[in-house]
Amino acid sequence: MWRLGDRDLPSNIDFDGGSDWICLNRKFVDYLVHSDDTLVTGMKHMYRYALLPAESFFHVVLRNSRYCTSFAKGNMRLANWKRKLGCRCQYKHIVDWCGCSPNDFKPEDLVRLQSQTINHFARKFEPIVNQEIINLLDEWLFGKPETPLIARNVYWENVYHSRHDNGSKFDMILTALQSFSRVASKEQTVNDCEFFPIWRPEQATLYMLNDTFHGVLSQQEYKVIAGRTLRETIPMETYFQPIRFLEMKNGNMSEPANRLQSLAVGTSWDQKERIFRNIAGIIGPRDEPVLVHRWVHGPEFHVRIVWQDPLNVIAGMYQMKVDKTWVISFHKPKFNKPLRPGTWTVKIVFNDDITLGLTKFLVIPQNYYDGKEGVLNDVIATNNGPPAGLYASDYVVEFDRAANDTSERVVEFAKNSKSIGSSLEGWIDSIMQQHWKFVGICVSSERTGVKNKCIAQLPSCSNTDWSSKSPDPKSEVKRIEPNGYLS
């Protein structure tokens, strides 16, 4: 939504506003929905062109209608306001206005939640950010279970489903999932058991354990051949775990060099919750990577951030002043797209030649375009790096002088960047295996009547702790009790 300008408000209306967390009487709701009087129709028209109408529309109609004596002011909800974090203009690419938003509750907020005696609602809770606070509140409100709760500290979140997640937005996750399927089938193909993924993955799920991302689960059908003769098709779920690349070299250094605690690269950095919303870290050539760096307080000093692409090209070098009170900050370079696929390196350097820390991340070659496998022109346009090899229009190509394998990398990349079909898949799989580890596979359907020994020897997903098909009692809703509680 974009702001067009000022406008005059009706002079005979008593304007009011507040939270959009409100309770409305059924009669008033019926009046809002069905009434044709000028107040309701006029306010609907005016608020159709207003920002955040839910924070004012209901209040104004209530104050100016025949229901004006029936409202009660009361704050029955607790919001977790941390305005230094929540009031940031981080969506300027979408809107031209700024607002504030409450932060998610976390375990350190439990005492404050327990001390509220008149609140019936609280916001925000987000299990992908923190599941533990939800568990603690459940136990405080309803008591701890007599026996340990299965999957208490696990959270699964679906991020892709083939039925409705289509289009270019899902091209990179589909590219990654297809690679997982091929790698898993090769891992399982031993002796006289052969596994072949069929068509494409059905679903992808993020697997969180103890509020930490542990990997991606992918569901897909596989054709399983035993002894080259017995063939059966069955749905399975695979588990892949990311391999982290982080080297902190400043552990034995003195101040200020020892202030750096960690660094990580991802996309969709959420300044408010201080997490990458791209939880799985699946990055494609047209994404915008962000470096997040964490510090402890100490003397102010200057460092350089060096971004190095898979051909040892210095894609960018940036001077940065480290403030003495910094705890966490981020750096988002503006590179020409597409990024060159492969393993990238980011370093923080002090005094020109002292590396304080470095991390590596993967830019995956793209294989899908609007949900379909790309043709040669698509692939070359995406996987061949930036125009003229320049990540910035005013930048001269410079290689890392300490690297001794640049020539070999250039030759290999020239071949891979123009590959399609099985050759492209082979390139993708080879670098994916450097950044993702195959952990396991399970059968996600009943195996009654299955004669294939290769399937019979695999675990059932319902009995596999990490599987999204395993029991999750904390998320089950069975019935509504007479007292109104869900059980």
Among 25, 51, 75, the domain-final residue is: 75
Q: Answer yes or no: are the C-beta atoms of 405 and 429 closer than 8 Å.
A: no
70 and 85 together in one domain: no
275 and 315 together in one domain: yes
Q: How far apart are CA 59 and CA 18, in angstroms?
A: 8
Does any domain span residue 487?
A: no
Q: What is the pLDDT of residues 157-216, one digit of tens each?
A: 999 999 999 889 999 999 999 999 999 999 999 888 999 999 889 999 999 999 999 999
pLDDT value, residue 7: 83
Tokens describing residue 109: 């907020």
pLDDT value, residue 97: 65
pLDDT averaged per 10 residues in sequence order, the chain, 487 residues: 78 87 90 95 92 91 93 80 76 66 93 82 92 95 88 96 92 97 94 90 97 98 88 94 96 93 96 95 98 96 96 94 95 96 97 95 97 93 94 80 87 95 97 98 82 89 96 85 72
Across the chain, mean pLDDT equals: 91
Residue 254, Ramachandran bin (φ over 0: left; ψ between -120 and 50: alpha; else beta): beta
109 and 160 together in one domain: no
264 and 162 together in one domain: no
Does any domain span residue 468?
A: no
311 and 401 together in one domain: yes
Does any domain span residue 311?
A: yes
322 and 253 together in one domain: yes
33 and 161 together in one domain: no
Does any domain span residue 483?
A: no
pLDDT value, residue 453: 87
Does any domain span residue 148?
A: no
Q: How far apart are CA 324 and CA 455, in angstroms?
A: 59
Q: Answer yes or no: are the C-beta atoms of 335 and 351 closer than 8 Å.
A: no
- Helices marked H in 14-124 — which ranges? 26-34, 38-47, 57-64, 83-86, 110-114
β-bridge mates for residue 322, sequence order:
301
317 and 327 together in one domain: yes
60 and 122 together in one domain: no
pLDDT value, residue 91: 61
User: What is the count of structural domains for the chain?
Assistant: 4
Which residue range is the domain that position 92 belongs to? 77-142
Among 417, 434, 451, the domain-final residue is: 434
Q: How far apart are CA 62 and CA 349, in angstroms?
A: 60
Q: What is the pLDDT of residues 25-73, one digit of tens each?
A: 899 999 999 999 999 999 999 999 888 899 999 999 999 999 999 887 7
Task: Output the domain CATH number for residue 286.
Answer: 2.60.40.1930
Q: Answer yes or no: are the C-beta atoms of 162 and 203 closer than 8 Å.
A: yes
Q: How far apart are CA 245 and CA 104, in angstroms?
A: 29
User: What is the reported pTM?
Assistant: 0.88
233 and 362 together in one domain: no
The identity of residue 382, as a single letter, is: T
